[in-house]
A and B are shown apart, each in its own frame.
Chain A
Amino acid sequence: MSIQLESTATPLVAMRGISKAYPGCLANDAVDLTLHEGQIHALLGENGAGKSTLVKILYGLLQADAGSIEWQGKPVQINSPAQARKLGIALVFQHFSLFDSLSVLENIALGMAVPANRKLESKIIEVSTRYGLPLDPDRQVYTLSVGERQRIEIVRCLLQSPKLLIMDEPTSVLTPQEVDDLFVTLRRLRDEGVAILYISHKLNEIKSLCSEATILRGGQRVATAVPDEESTQSLAALMMGDEIVVPTREARQPGDTVMLQLKAVSYATSEQHGVPLNDINLSLRAGEIVGIAGVAGNGQDEFMQVISGEVRLSDGNGLRLHGVPAGTISPSERRKLGLCCVPEERLGHAAVPGMSLADNAFLTAHHRSGLISGGMLSTGKTRRFTEQVINQFNVQCNGTASLAASLSGGNLQKFIVGREIEQQPSVFVVSQPTWGVDAGAAAAIHKSLQAMANAGTAVLVVSQDLDELMLISDRIAALCAGRLSDVYATHSVSIQDLGLLMGGAVIDSSNAGVSDLAGGLDSGTSTSDSAGAGDASA
């Protein structure tokens, strides 16, 4: 108790009245944030609420227009990340900055601007074992999983013995087991007196990990709450401003028509660090949602490219759309057949960052939505289509001329998903639909996926977010090292089972012997025992 009182007297960091304006928006409006040693503090808010801006100001990447920062009771001016690091502030970014072809040791040395020598190596091993973050300093980064890559970033921070560790959405890329491991590490750091600022929108995590939470909405601090004393609903309500309606599981009766069929698809990638696909079989029927779980880097990119047509198969029959062989045709021709895809990477893949929303709508919708007339682009039709997407999917932007890069992640994702849905596909394939997206936008996207399936579209969702897949999918499978597991009725598998499938294990021997997985294994109604027993390609 006395410690508590002391720390209350001199907080480690006190940000007072921080304001920051961008052209056209006030990202932070007189925000206060106080952090104490030995405390895990959550920074909670929707995308665009001002979390990143606040953190960037604290880390010296941005300068506040107004307000002050006190470090251990003394006013400081943080002009650069180097200065922040000198004070003892470390930041683990959501997107890692690692060189794939260098070793762990070299990456850490580069990040800290020190030579990659034995001394550093032994320090890495010491820190990584002490905090339960096993790392082999000599491994090349491209051979590591996303979770292991995150460990590099964390170890890199810990080597500087920080007093304050900032974690930006750290669990969005981890398996359930990895999340547990991370929490053990974070709690140990907290017990050693490190202050942790934990940025997330996953309310369950915040409730289990954080002792205090600052909630931002529209650039303002709306509350400072004790997560333990709040319910998930009340936290969400604070964050969103009103009660959000989280979609619930729906039981669906899928149709009998197979809309998308993959038959013994193998694909050897030419990418340097790619994962070859091996004998993939899958049948997707009208009116169902099938989820594909798996840790990133297990062939998801290749799987998506094979389906979208960005890479072609040698045999057209390997992939059929409504029974039509489509393995060798281009993405635009597949779109004409009713297949719309949303790749994982929003900027640079699903959308062109430097182009307007109207141009980005035209990018994929020009054919299906008839945005070309007389061989020329129709700007009027394109604008109307874009406005329709913006309105239907509640995209926050400054109109159809806004650049894609100027939208927040969640808004851009809503726009991209909306753009494909508005083309009324008969087969819809989406990768990581809610990656880095706030709760409100995620709920909206989930609801539209469910609505599509109810309307008879065949929906395939590739995701690392198991909660998401358990919530929306009717059937589920996992991708591991380029192989696709059997497909199970979602209600018949537990999260633990799924974790095993993601690791490449086979669950329940009665399902394992089935070699031909094409076709429905169940119709959404069968029990767990019969899941995986069917075979015939429907």
Chain B
Amino acid sequence: MISLEPRAEPSKLMGYAAPVIALVVTLLAGLVLFALLKVPVGEAFYAFFIDPISSVYGLSELGVKAAPLIMIAVALSIGYRANVWNIGAEGQLILGGICGGAVALYFYEVEGWFVLPLMIFAGILGGMLWAAIPALLKTRFNANEILTSLMLTYIAALLLSMLVHGPLRDPDGFNFPESRLFHAAATLPIILEGTRLHIGALVALLLVVVGWVLLSRTLLGFALKVNGQAPRAGLYAGFTQNRLIWFSLLFCGAAAGCAGLFEVAGPIGQLLPTISPGYGFTAIIVAFLGRLHPVGIVFAGLVMALSYLGGESAQISLNLPVAVTGVFQGMLLFFLLAADVLINYRVVWRSKAVKA
């Protein structure tokens, strides 16, 4: 008989092993899925997991996809540690793209070193502004930030759609819902010639370091963690809860807004009705897969970036629907949550015999 027995203490080993277990099980389930779709399993496996990263360009694309995921996930994880459940990073990302993109279009064809920094500043500000709404509602009216931040995501998406259909549409674009292509001074520098890998990758790594130092070495990070685990102890110690909520949301808004600006000023190069394949939502999975730890998030971000590339590759070479990406991401989160049970419980094979 198999049963789950509570552990005396949460297992540290399982904390690290659970994501690996989840990955392996996801892989196996994926293979079963391919078999059911009557796709040659070996080929599908190759197309999904190996082919996308078998060239330098492929690896650079992995970086392009991983950068926004890691940036957002690091910021999300800080909030999650503090029990602030921001689900609306996608909306904050979109607002960053809108605000930064609007600056680029305002200074269209203006060559100057200041354009890009101004865009980044506007992008960060836009994301923060969007995140400030749930923060205000939470601190002032105790409105649940999960709901408010999520709902604001849809508003942001519609706002972007409205703008590219209207005021920000390319005047010479034959009425296509797209903005002008950004000029050179408004696009991100590439760090690897011949690829799309931009400075966002470096910013992501910088943010990992910042997040790590913040959480492990500063009073603010300590206060965030205490607030997440035992809010009353935080009050007792003298940490102001509202301040922590504001910080968590604004920090994440800034990171997501910046990531959004990097998307429009980098790989996309203009404003489109859709500027993100759900990075803001996928980053939630990345944050948990990375154990809410900045370093873990780097690995998790790369894995999830691969799921995007794999989905595209499988679509091209095997005619699989692009939804495969979503299925893999969903399965991974599902199995991760299941594997997390092993942190607090152990599996026991118990014989029925009476012990004497």
Contacts and interface: CB of A to CB of B under 8 A. Distances in A.
Contacts of A164: none
Nearest to A304: B236
B356 A68 contact: yes
Interface stretch (A259-267, A286-294, A372-380, A452-460): A372-380
Contacts of A366: 219, 222
Contacts of B225: 355
A331 B229 contact: no
B238 interface: yes
B346 to A, nearest CB: 11
Contacts of B10: 354
Nearest to B218: A376
Given A23-B8, A77-B354, A330-B240, A353 B229 contact: yes
A349 B232 contact: yes
Given A349-B230, A353-B229, A310 B217 contact: no
A66 interface: yes
A17 B225 CA distance: 44
Instruction: Give the interface residue-count category, chain A.
Output: 35 or more
Contact of B229 (A65, A75, A332, A355): A355
Given A331-B238, A335-B238, A352 B233 contact: yes
Q: State the main secondary structure of chain A at its contact with B.
A: mixed
Contacts of A254: none
Contacts of B222: 359, 362-363, 366, 377
Interface in B225-250: 225-226, 229-230, 232-233, 235-238, 240
Contacts of A200: none
A351 interface: yes
Contact of A331 (B219, B226, B237, B354): B237
A22 B8 contact: yes
Contacts of A308: 236
B9 interface: yes
Interface string A471-497: 000000000000000000000000000
B9 A377 contact: no
A309 interface: yes
Interface in A125-178: none
Contacts of B235: 310, 331
A364 B355 CA distance: 48
Interface string A316-334: 0000000000000011111
Interface size class of B (residues with CB under 8 A): 20 to 34
Nearest to A405: B9
Contact of A355 (B216, B219, B226, B232): B226
Contacts of B219: 366, 372, 375, 377
B217 A345 contact: no
B244 to A, nearest CB: 13
A215 B236 CA distance: 38
B225 to A, nearest CB: 8
B237 A406 contact: no
B238 A332 contact: yes
A55 interface: no
Residue of B10, B213, B240, B356 with most chain A CB atoms under a 10 A cut-off? B356
Nearest to A345: B232
B355 A350 contact: no
A403 interface: yes
Interface in B334-356: 354-356
A70 B282 CA distance: 56
Contacts of A403: 9
A375 B233 CA distance: 22
Interface in A295-318: 308-310
A348 B218 contact: no
A375 B218 CA distance: 7
A227 interface: no
B214 to A, nearest CB: 10
**Most A CB atoms within 10 A — which of B218, B230, B356?**
B230
Contacts of B236: 308, 310, 331, 341, 343, 349-350, 364
B9 A353 contact: no
The CB with the most chain B CB atoms within 10 A, among A64, A348, A363, is that of A363
A74 B218 CA distance: 61
B238 to A, nearest CB: 3
Contacts of A351: 230, 233
B233 A66 contact: no
Report which residue of B10, B218, B232, B237 has the largest number of chain A beta carbons within 10 angstroms of its beta carbon.
B237
Contacts of B356: 68
Contacts of B240: 330
Given A68-B356, A375-B218, A377-B219, A406 B9 contact: yes
A363 B233 CA distance: 8
Nearest to A354: B229
A348 B237 contact: no
A443 B197 CA distance: 67
Nearest to A348: B230
Contacts of B216: 377
Contacts of A347: 230
Nearest to A311: B235
A362 B229 CA distance: 15
A403 B229 CA distance: 13
Nearest to A351: B233
Contacts of B218: 375-377
A333 B238 CA distance: 8
A352 B9 contact: no
A334 B236 CA distance: 11
A66 B237 contact: no
A75 B225 CA distance: 49
A101 B222 CA distance: 35
Contacts of A64: 355
A219 to B, nearest CB: 15
Contacts of A310: 235-236
Contacts of B226: 352, 355, 363
A340 B356 CA distance: 52
A65 B355 CA distance: 8
Contacts of B355: 64-66, 77
A375 B255 CA distance: 23
Interface in B1-57: 8-10
A146 B10 CA distance: 33
A77 B9 CA distance: 26
A377 B354 contact: no
A309 B236 CA distance: 8
A406 B235 CA distance: 23
B229 A352 contact: yes
Given A355-B226, A376-B217, A376-B218, A348 B9 contact: no
A207 to B, nearest CB: 35
B93 to A, nearest CB: 31
A113 to B, nearest CB: 22
Contacts of A375: 218-219
Interface of B: 8-10, 213, 216-219, 222, 225-226, 229-230, 232-233, 235-238, 240, 354-356
25 contacts: A64-B355, A75-B354, A77-B355, A331-B237, A331-B238, A334-B238, A335-B238, A343-B236, A349-B232, A349-B233, A350-B233, A351-B230, A352-B226, A352-B229, A354-B10, A354-B229, A355-B225, A355-B229, A359-B222, A363-B222, A366-B222, A372-B219, A375-B219, A376-B213, A377-B218
Given A331-B238, A363-B237, 9 more contacts: A66-B355, A308-B236, A330-B238, A348-B232, A355-B229, A366-B219, A377-B218, A377-B219, A377-B222
